[in-house]
Amino acid sequence: MTFFSIKHKLLCSTLLLPFALLGSAWGQHIPQEFGKVLFELLPAAAAAPVTGGSTTGNLTTEAPSIRPADETHPVRKPSAPAPLRFSTALDKEAQALAVVTAAWRETLPDTEYLRILNSPNRAPLLAPPFGLKGGKSGAVKVAWQELEEPTLGQQYTSDSSLQALVEWYRGAYGIPFTVRTVALADTATGGVMTIARGTHRIGNTIVSVMIWNPTVGQTKGRKNRRASYQQKTSVAVQERAFRPRDMFVAEGPDAVVELTWQVPYGDAIQQLSQKYEIDPFLIAALVQQESNFNPGAISVDSAMGLTQMIPTTAEAMGVTDPADPHQSLEGGVRYLKLMLRQFKGNVMLALAAYNAGPGNVMKYRGVPPFTETRTYVRRIMDRYKEKAGNGNKGA
């Protein structure tokens, strides 16, 4: 028998001896006091933590105690963000607003809506806060990248507090806002800038508003200009308007939509659409019917160019060279605009007048009974509705 087996048996006997004595003593009526003490010690022993120590004879070695996690690996508190330059802070908030605006943009998919572009008579959906005047229209100084150009953008400077302006927009249009305070490195600003940004969909228009204080300005010097900071509040507003594809608007601000039909001279058609506020799909459909986009086309009645204007009409519209694509387009769109105005926006009557002359439309009090004119009007209207109502770009 080996030394280790003998030691193992002795150890087991030592551990079992108290329980054997307890069993025999129980039968010999050991005093109750001993039993009470034993049963008090057993729960205490059961509740004692296990340390993982080893026992050899009377020598006990305990495992080292485990320290709380916060003592051995202290949790570091996040450091405060570094102060930003004024322009950097503004740009970061503008980008955050752009992300939210892009998410709202997804609620108006291109397959169902056409994007409305800016035009001379476009009026803002959002009124100036507190009746402010002198708002800058057109391009907003704050650039919101990775987004389509807004239909309309305006910027204001106000003496009102940021909180007052936030409450005004919230009360007037229900726009929810996120307000943040940003530490600035520019000491002239007072070291802090407060920014509020909000996005909301109103009908088929997505509005994005950013409000911040202080405002940067320009101080004129003898040699150059330098930035100065004023305790005023700036407001930048962008509106992105859309028109359902099943809604056809031939003339007016809502007629100026993005031309998604890939045609020759598309850029020129788009520009003239914005200038004269006529649907670019209608213009393109008319040009296709007149000349199939051939600037050298000449008809039997001496009509020339993309828009097939006869010499007298071309001269009246200021066209000196009907073969020039841009002159022909300009003259033709201008004449179509006159016909739409004369017949109070009635597209079919305006097209009939373009083909047969306004005198015949007035004579017959409608589309003249000429086969050519009626076929002309029907084909343009069919192509216009097909292309404007088609959600697949480039179709």
Residues involved in catalysis? 290
DSSP state of 141: S
As a whole number of angstroms, the distance between CA 47 and CA 49 comes to 6
Residue 332 and residue 94: Cα distance in Å, rounded? 42
Instruction: Decide: 375 and 243 in contact? Cβ < 8 Å.
Output: no
What is the CB-side half-sphere exposure of residue 294 using CA atoms within 13 A?
10
Amino acid at the residue 254: D
Cα(369)–Cα(86) distance, rounded to whole angstroms? 68
Backbone angles phi, psi at 38, to 5 degrees: -60, -45
CA distance 220 to 9: 101
| Secondary structure (3-state) at 13 | helix
Query: How far apart are the C-alpha atoms of 105 and 233, rounded to whole Å?
Result: 27
User: Which residues make Cβ contacts (< 8 Å) with residue 358, sequence separation at least 6?
Assistant: 339, 342, 343
Distances (CA, A) of 198 to 154, 170, 316: 15, 9, 50
What's the DSSP call for residue 317?
A: T
Neighbours of 23 (CB within 10 A): 9
